[in-house]
Structure formats: structure tokens, C-alpha cells
């Protein structure tokens, strides 16, 4: 049960309605943690812009999903995990990769960039930074711009996961790939 009341569109103030409508017309993403962000319309809008900036950046959709699933698994964030597992399947990530991340195992990723995304995300979350060795390997594999996007994606999606956890935003009961405890 969510700790936060979901505001119906009809009950939003003018600024909330403006940013909600803009998001609905753009990405269509207005649920999950955005139920909390709508209380601060500028935050809602900034989160939308950051998500759009990162999704239009140098990382592929598959790379972004590897990062997001690793971050959601780390935070034990059930709603973000649900949304990202579903999205991962839609961009061609096999169920076996999703299951490995869910089980806190290193997934068998044949693509060097995807493996680097997992390694960097996992190390950032576990150690609050990157070792010199991991940084050098990631910069060599990804390039500096992609590495910046990878690190930023970890921070951005961590905020999403912390918000979902803090406000009790849960996935639907028929979640096909629930997060394991």
C-alpha cells in the first residue's frame, strides 16, 4: 500500500497539471515515483528532463536497462524492478539475464559494453565509487562520454528507487518477474 496518496489529474493544481500533461504527451511516464514527484512540479519536470536526456544519450537501450536493473536490484526497489524487467524484455534482454541480476549473480553478457555497464553499476553501488582499474577499463571500453552517462544513470535511477521505496510504491499483484528478497 502506498504511503503517498495518488493525486488524480482533476485534483492537481495548475502547475502540477501542466507538468503532468506535458509528460503524458511526451514520454507518457507519469506513474511510479512520479506520484511523489508531482508534489514538487519543478522536480517532476526536472526528473522527466534528466530521464529524457539520458535516454537520448550515448548508451543503448539495452545498456541503460542493464544499469537500471542493477540499480533496482541493489535498492530492492520492487516497482522500479517491475518496470525495468518489463522494459528489458521489450528491448531484447533475455529472461536469463534478468533472472541472474535478480538472483544477485553476475549475468553472462557477451557484449563488452553491456558487461561494463553491469560491472560499473555494481561497483559504484557496492563501493560508492570505482577502483582505478575498473575506471580505466570502463573508459577504454565505453569512452569518456558513455562513462559519464553510465555514472549519471546510476545516480538518477538510484533516486527513482529510493523514492519508490520511501513512499511504498509497489508493482501490480500480477508482476511476472517479482524481485527476489
Show me where the domains of the chain are located.
9-55, 61-158
Nearest to 68 by CA among 87, 52, 53, 47: 87
Question: Among residues of the chain, what percentage have pLDDT more than 70?
Answer: 99
CA distance 29 to 25: 9
Q: Which pTM was predicted?
A: 0.92
pLDDT band at 41; cut points 50, 70, 90: very high
Q: Helices 144-166 & 78-90, crossing angle to 10 degrees?
A: 140
What mean pLDDT comes out for the span 13-40? 87
> Among positive and negative, which fits the CA dihedral 5, 8, 9, 13?
negative
Domain 61-158 falls under CATH 1.20.1290.10: yes
Average pLDDT, the chain: 93
CA distance 110 to 113: 9
pLDDT band at 78; cut points 50, 70, 90: very high
The number of residues making up the chain comes to 181
Q: Hey, what's the cell of 103? A: 538472483
Q: What pLDDT, on the 0 to 100 scale, is given for residue 1? A: 66
Amino acid at each position: 500500500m502506498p504511503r503517498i496518496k495518488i493525486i488524480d489529474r482533476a485534483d492537481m493544481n495548475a502547475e502540477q497539471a501542466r507538468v503532468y500533461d506535458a509528460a503524458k504527451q511526451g514520454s507518457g511516464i507519469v506513474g511510479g515515483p512520479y506520484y511523489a514527484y508531482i508534489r514538487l512540479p519543478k522536480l517532476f519536470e526536472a526528473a522527466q528532463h534528466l530521464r529524457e536526456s539520458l535516454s537520448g544519450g550515448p548508451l543503448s537501450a539495452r545498456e541503460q536497462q542493464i544499469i537500471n536493473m542493477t540499480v533496482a536490484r541493489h535498492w530492492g526497489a520492487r516497482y522500479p524492478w517491475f518496470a525495468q524487467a518489463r522494459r528489458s524484455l521489450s528491448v531484447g534482454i533475455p529472461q536469463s539475464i534478468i533472472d541472474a541480476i535478480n538472483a544477485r549473480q553476475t549475468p553472462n553478457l557477451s557484449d563488452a559494453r553491456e558487461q561494463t555497464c553491469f560491472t560499473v553499476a555494481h561497483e559504484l553501488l557496492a563501493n560508492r565509487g570505482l577502483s582505478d582499474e575498473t575506471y580505466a577499463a570502463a573508459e577504454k571500453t565505453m569512452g569518456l562520454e558513455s562513462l559519464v552517462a553510465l555514472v549519471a544513470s546510476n545516480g538518477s535511477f538510484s533516486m527513482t528507487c529510493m523514492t519508490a521505496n520511501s513512499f511504498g510504491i509497489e508493482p501490480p499483484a500480477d508482476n511476472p518477474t517479482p524481485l527476489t528478497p
